[in-house]
Amino acid sequence: MAAFCSFRRGLAGLQVSLIISFLAAASAGNFYQDFDITWGDGRAKILNNGELLTLSLDKASGSGFQSKNEYLFGKIDMQIKLVPGNSAGTVTAYYLSSKEWETHDEIDFEFLGNLSGDPYILHTNVYIQGQGKREKQFYLWFDPTADFHNYSILWNPQCVVFWVDGIPIREFKNLESAGVPFPKSQPMRIYSSLWNADDWATRGGLVKTNWSQAPFVASYRSFNADACVLYSGTSSCSWDSPPWLSQVLDSTDQQKMKWVEDNYMIYNYCTDAERFSQGLPTECIVT
């Protein structure tokens, strides 16, 4: 663990400096400081002195942003208000991803738009060494377009957990002992984008984007990263490891997650025997 989340011994001055920098980055929640707008030709905007960020999609282009920092483990929080009204065909993606695409690691929230009055679908996935196919999908128990809600990722050496408003909806455990790969060595940035995916996003592509409803807008606020930030290859986490680094779901969390699974899960790759006709993935069998 020291190789991933520790300062090098003997660099006391550097340690203090980096801890100060890390705490400032983790607590500030300022979009000017924490993120770069990467595409969209002006469709992404940082507002309210850095407290609010909006992404916009029209027929010409979507938009997106990424974090300035790279992280290797962390507890990442973002409040998002999704595209209201008829959002069919649109996808709002919020995820962690590493650089090397062919062998990349990735932890995904994707919000699939829908016709007015129909529920959003929350699509989750985990890629490890470029391999995904670990999708789970959910309806939400609230209207995600009416107000901001908190979407969180806990990523540590024991597990990846997806949270919505403090309720765990999905856990991907470290099962390397059973031969299942786990994302633990590639640093990742935070990304988000709003884009058109009407070839698949809504009812398998049957419902197309209604461009008369454009521009479509998603809003972001209250970012927080309690995380191990990489500075020139060295991690900001000290020898006194933060509590989230060893956090696992307790019995209360497990009960909450089961409530979500029983009432709001609409697809689980671990039960799709037709798709995996040669046998379900190992993690589905072990857990």
Could you confirm whether 274 is annotated as catalytic? Answer: no
| Catalytic residue, candidates 51, 70, 102, 106 | 106
Residue 78's CB is within 10 A of a number of other CB atoms, namely 22
| Catalytic residue, candidates 51, 70, 110, 171 | 110
CA atoms within 13 A on the CB side of 94: 26
CA atoms within 13 A on the CB side of 227: 28
* CA 237 vs CA 18, 88, 99, 101: distances in Å: 9, 42, 21, 26
Residues 232 and 8: beta-carbon distance below 8 Å:
no
Could you confirm whether 106 is annotated as catalytic? Answer: yes
Nearest Cα to Cα of residue 35 among 63, 68, 64: 68
* CA 23 vs CA 27, 224, 229, 265: distances in Å: 6, 11, 10, 36
Q: Which amino acid is at 142?
A: F
| Residues labelled as active-site residues | 106, 110
